[in-house]
Amino acid sequence: DQQVKQNSPSLSVQEGRISILNCDYTNSMFDYFLWYKKYPAEGPTFLISISSIKDKNEDGRFTVFLNKSAKHLSLHIVPSQPGDSAVYFCAASGGGDMRFGAGTRLTVKP
């Protein structure tokens, strides 16, 4: 059973605009959430995280929002740059468990 879902396999945005990547989870035990970025032929790299005691965490152009009641988190990238083109994985951890979504491929067009 998929406890972490990224329902959009791909997303395409124009350079300079906002990219919004979404992630849903089902397990209420998850209390820490992470986003990873992955370039082709490389392993995923940690991007940003958020604890369940917060609803927003910002790091430069990247902001993660957490809606615990909806069991939903999103990653906002503003402004989007061509170098942001990659696959983004959402992950959720808690209760000694960590689960990953299947990823969303973001393409930022110049």
Partner 1 sequence: DTAVSQTPKYLVTQMGNDKSIKCEQNLGHDTMYWYKQDSKKFLKIMFSYNNKELIINETVPNRFSPKSPDKAHLNLHINSLELGDSAVYFCASSQSYQDNYGYTFGSGTRLTVV
Q: Which of residues 39-78 bind partner 1 (CB under 8 A)?
A: 40, 42-46, 49
Region of 14-22, 61-69, 70-78, 89-97 interacting with partner 1 (CB under 8 A): 89-97
Whether 13 and 58 have beta carbons less than 8 Å apart is answered as no
Which is nearest to 59 in space by CA: 35, 24, 82, 27?
35
Kindly state the smallest distance separating residue 67's Cβ from partner 1, in Å: 22
Rule CB under 8 A: is residue 92 a binding residue for partner 1? no
Edge-to-edge strands of the sheet including 72-77? 4-5, 19-25, 72-77, 62-67, 56-59
Kindly state whether residue 96 participates in binding partner 1, applying the rule CB under 8 A. Answer: yes
- Name the token pair of 88: 């983004």
Which of 38, 16, 40 has its CA nearest to residue 109?
A: 16
Which region, judged by CB under 8 A, interacts with partner 1, from 17-25, 56-64, 69-77, 102-110?
102-110
Q: By CB under 8 A, is residue 25 in contact with partner 1? A: no
The residues that touch partner 1, with contacts defined as CB under 8 A, are: 9-10, 34, 36, 38, 40, 42-46, 49, 87, 89, 96-100, 102-105
